[in-house]
Amino acid sequence: MVDSPDENDVTVEKERPGFLRILRNRFFTGLIIALPLAATIWVISFIVTKVDATVWNLLPKELNPGPYLEERIGFNIPGIGLIVAISALFVLGVIASNFIGGSILRFGERILERVPFVRNLYGGLKQIVNTVAKSDERNFKEVCLLEYPRPGLWAIGFVTADLKGAPTKHLKGDYVSIFVPTTPNPTSGFLLFTKRTDLKILDMTPEEGAKMIISGGIVSNDDKLLLEDGTEIELPVQIT
What confidence tens digit (pLDDT) does each residue in 89-111 have? 888 888 878 888 778 888 888 88
CA–CA dist 189, 185 (Å, integer): 9
Q: Give 21-58 pLDDT, tens digit per residue.
A: 888 878 877 887 788 788 888 888 888 888 877 877 77
CA–CA dist 207, 209 (Å, integer): 5
Closest CA to 221 of 156, 175, 130: 156
- As to burial, measured by CB atoms within 10 angstroms (0-12 exposed, 13-18 middle, 19+ buried), residue 144 is buried
Extents of the domains making up the chain:
142-226
pTM: 0.50
Find the mean pLDDT for residues 216-229.
60
- Quickly state the pLDDT bin for 240 (edges 50, 70, 90): very low
Residue range 142-226, CATH number? 2.30.30
